[in-house]
Amino acid sequence: MGQFALYKFLLTIFLLFSISKSLPTGNERSTYIIHMDKSAMPAPFSTHHDWYTSTLSSLSSPDGISPVHLYSYKHVMDGFSAVLSQTHLNQLEKLPGHVSTFPESYGHLHTTHTPQFLGLNAYSGLWPAGKFGDDIIIGVLDSGIWPESESFNDRNMPPVPQRWQGMCETGTEFNTSHCNKKLIGARKFSQGMKQYRLNISNTNDCDSPRDFLGHGTHTSSTAAGSRVQNANYFGYAEGTATGMAPSARLAMYKVGFYSKDIRVIDVVATDVLAGMDQAIEDGVDIMSLSLGFKETPFFKNPIAIGAFAALKKGIFVTCSAGNSGPHGYTMFNGAPWLTTVGAGTVDRELGARVTLGDGDITVTGISMYPENLFISRIPLYFGHGNRRKELCDWNSLDSKDVAGKFVFCDYDNESSVFRSEDIYGTDIAGAIFSSDDGEFQKPAEFYLPFVTVNTKDGDLIKTYILNTTNATVSVRGFAPIRDHDYLLTDYALVSGTSMSCPHTAGVAALLKATHRDWSSAAIRSAMMTTADVTDNANGRIIDMTTAVAGTPLDFGAGHLNPNKAMDPGLVYDIEEGVAECGRYSLHL
């Protein structure tokens, strides 16, 4: 196969927003986030929480249904969230101390090799200089955590830092004993989700810090997982799994839940704000959020609001850019005080070797089939003469023609996609796809022995088939499963900006441990000013949409380079400009 221009994780700071607001009519109830002026709190009240709850109880309810208080916020903003009718809202907005109100919004949740890929070395550079993240606390807002994972073992870790103020909540299938010197805190925030009448599933999730999806467990272990030897996904990606900052501590703030009503994992603004507020209160040094909301003005965006408060407390916040790219104007989390992270590919492929005939042609393709992929001299089918069959279009193949055979699916210049779903139920032995989208494939798509080859190798295979009588194929996978093995694994192959974000969180922890006096802005500056704009083929980072050299509008600051970031030379700080950032957000 040819040389690929493979690239790392991208640090991106863009400005992008749209304005949207919808309010209910009549006495329909909705959830709101209310910003208050704390200086207006009457003297009799000892806490702002008491003032907020008293204010809610003072609102008249003609229909007899009182307001419902959800959260009081101490750090991310001065205010609270509550379920209100339009009548309640009209009264509240006229009271002294009210600043603004905006409605609930809904968002979505957007490694054995990557430490080496990023240049981290146990004996030199940022890893030993930062003591592998020792004494740094990373707060992760996600779908929860699976505490039994070996990635969260606390062997040989020192006591929990005395400055830590957090706790480990008890709940369904989760108790305080699940926390240790690695996982030092775990909480859940679900009141906003439940007020939206979304019932949290009791089979695919639970209303506790426990993770059923695996998303939060994966992001947490990527940021600060302990070393685990012989980790693999059915033999793929075998090696020692370790987080970017393996000596750092973890705290999970579960804000994503699986709803049995809409059958999807979602997050709501009130819960995310509450999670960020608690993380600040608990004393985290780093926040990692692999989730996002529709872009709105920054003063209405829950992540932008929470991150701005964290900035003032010296907490570094990193977020995923979303997975809507690689086209322009598709990123999330665009506030300039955030470290927003895109994703690319790494210099390792997971695949299989395809041999035609008696070794006439051998090519390497992409495959993540989780069983023994060792197929010898199976008849090879190609629907030559019928373009729909050549492309393996939906319902185009006849089971009588393809049963027990390997099918070759050609490339379509106008729309090349991985078409595994198009040949479901045809009793084939497997398939070879000629495709240009190998970077976007996911393990779940390989439910049969599928191999994807690049279009150049696909043309070689097609030519061979057309010029060979009774063409056969042999496929040898790189991840054989032994007869006594079961299709169970503690690990997963996951891609996207959700997974690049915690890499940045871990590197930030290493930099914070190395330079204790650096602000979060200084850490972000060091990462961005030392980022690489060339890939490992020594060329400009490639724009995936055009396959030509990209620009900063495509790749932001560039490839994250942890060791260079340790000694950037010039650092741009923002300590004198925090107030300017606040005024900037209000003028957009």
Active site residues: 142, 215, 498
CB atoms < 10 A from the CB of 239, how many?
Answer: 16
Which of 424, 399, 418 shows the shortest CA–CA distance to 409? 418
Which is nearest to 409 in space by CA: 368, 453, 354, 444?
453
Instruction: Tell me which residue of 222, 193, 195 sits closest to 205, measured CA to CA.
Output: 193
Cα torsion at 22, 25, 29, 31 (round to 10°)? 20
d(CA 80, CA 50): 11
> Could you tell me if 256 and 142 are in contact, meaning their C-beta atoms sit under 8 angstroms apart?
yes
- The CA distances from residue 298 to 20, 312, 518, 578, in Å, are 12, 16, 25, 14
Nearest to 492 by CA among 149, 258, 248: 149
Other CB atoms within a 10 A radius of the CB of residue 492 amount to 14
Tokens of 462: 């097609």
- Tokens coding 33: 């986030």
In angstroms, the CA 156 to CA 180 distance is: 12
What is the DSSP pairing of strand 236-241 with strand 339-342?
unpaired
CB 165 within 8 A of CB 147: no
Q: Is 249 exposed, middle or buried (0-12, 13-18, 19+ CB in 10 A)?
A: buried
Please say whether the dihedral angle defined by the alpha carbons of residues 548, 554, 558 and 559, taken in this order, is positive or negative: negative
CA angle, residues 86, 87, 89, in degrees to nearest 5: 60
Please list, in sequence order, all residues whose beta carbon lies within 8 angstroms of the beta carbon of residue 567, skipping any fewer than 6 positions away. none
C-alpha pair distances (Å), 386 with each of 89, 300, 402: 64, 55, 14
**CA dist., res. 221 & res. 217, Å (int):** 6
Give residues with Cβ within 8 angstroms of 147, minimum separation 6.
174, 178, 179, 183, 186, 210
Amino acid, single-letter form, for residue 255: V
